[in-house]
Amino acid sequence: MRRDSIFTLVRIACAGAVLCVSLAQAQTGLSIADHFPAGSINSVEQADRALKEAAAARAGIEASYSAGKADCYPAFFTTACLDKVAEQRRTALASLRPIEIEAEIFKRRARVIARDNDLAERERNAQEEERARMANATPAVEKSGKPDSPPTLTDQLAEQKRREDNIRAYEKKQLDASIRLRERDAKNAPKPN
């Protein structure tokens, strides 16, 4: 055989491999896009199924890409063949990405709604428990352990004495502080020469 005919056969083989890869990728991408058109995912089950099918399609695209690369290496124009296969892979993956994004967004929203509902339920339960606790609460008890009752005369006199003692202690602190302040000022005052 002549050398030109060998190169022609190699080119035809490379083009055939690229065509097979592109057809496989196009079929995989179209079938998923047909199953899940934009805005069609409206349940978590559908989102899970879309992600599972997208992952299977992605694996198929990667396998086709690997096969296409392997078919390109014996060709004379290897770089051009690899570029075509890589572009077809990129195009096929780009058609999968919107489906994956829509499914992930739906699942994320569903998780947020479930979490918000759970938090609202917890808040309602906490409020009900607080209301029940307040309804069943015993009367307030003083430090002495006795229930609240109107203060007696002795309690009033003891409270008045405690307040007077507190006032005297406060006035004594104020007087001590003013004496210390005057002593400090006298100590730090400039001395006449």
Residue 48 has, within 13 A of its CA and on its CB side, a CA count of 4
Distances (CA, A) of 48 to 5, 7, 61, 159: 51, 48, 20, 72
Identify whether residues 127 and 164 lie together within a single domain.
no
In the prediction, which pLDDT does 5 show?
54
Q: How many CB atoms lie within 10 A of CB 54?
A: 25
Q: How many domains does the chain have?
A: 2
Identify whether residues 129 and 158 lie together within a single domain.
no
In a domain, 10, yes or no: yes
104-123 confidence digits (pLDDT tens): 999 999 999 999 999 999 99
Q: Give the bridge partners for 141, in sequence order.
A: 147
76-90 confidence digits (pLDDT tens): 888 989 999 999 999
User: How many H helices and E strands in the chain?
Assistant: 4, 0
Please name the residues in contact with 42: beta carbons below 8 A apart, sequence gap of 6 or more.
Answer: 106
In a domain, 144, yes or no: no
Parent domain of 174: 152-188
Identify whether residues 92 and 165 lie together within a single domain.
no
In a domain, 7, yes or no: yes
